[in-house]
Amino acid sequence: MWHLFDIHHLGGEGAEKLKAQASELLTMYALLRHFFETVVGDVDSLRAERASFDACCVVVDTLMLAKRGVLDLGSAARTLRRANADHIRKHTAAYSDERLKPKHLWLFSVADAMARDSARGAEPILRYPTLRYFILFYSHSIRTIAL
| Residue pLDDT tens, the chain, 147 long | 555 555 555 555 655 666 666 667 777 888 889 988 998 888 999 999 999 999 999 998 998 888 888 888 899 999 999 999 999 999 999 998 888 877 778 888 888 888 888 888 866 555 444 545 554 444 444 433 332
Q: How far is CA 65 from CA 29, 45, 73, in A?
A: 15, 32, 10
Which runs of consecutive H residues, i.e. helices, occur in 36-101?
47-67, 73-95
Dihedral through CA 48, CA 9, CA 137, CA 96, nearest 10?
Answer: 20
Q: Which domain holds residue 87?
A: 21-146
Does 9 fall in a domain? no
Does 11 fall in a domain? no
The structural domain count of the chain equals 1
Helix axes 73-95, 102-119, angle to 10 degrees: 170
Rg (CA), the chain: 17
pLDDT value, residue 145: 35
In contact, 84 and 111? CB cutoff 8 Å: yes
pLDDT value, residue 147: 29
Does 16 fall in a domain? no
Does 64 fall in a domain? yes
If you ran DSSP here, which 8-state letter would residue 128 be given? S
How deeply is 63 buried, as exposed, middle or buried, from its count of CB atoms within 10 A (0-12, 13-18, 19+)?
buried
Does 14 fall in a domain? no
Does 15 fall in a domain? no
Angle at 105 between CA 17 and CA 23, to 5 degrees: 45
Does 114 fall in a domain? yes
pLDDT value, residue 124: 56
pLDDT value, residue 7: 55
Does 7 fall in a domain? no
pLDDT value, residue 129: 46
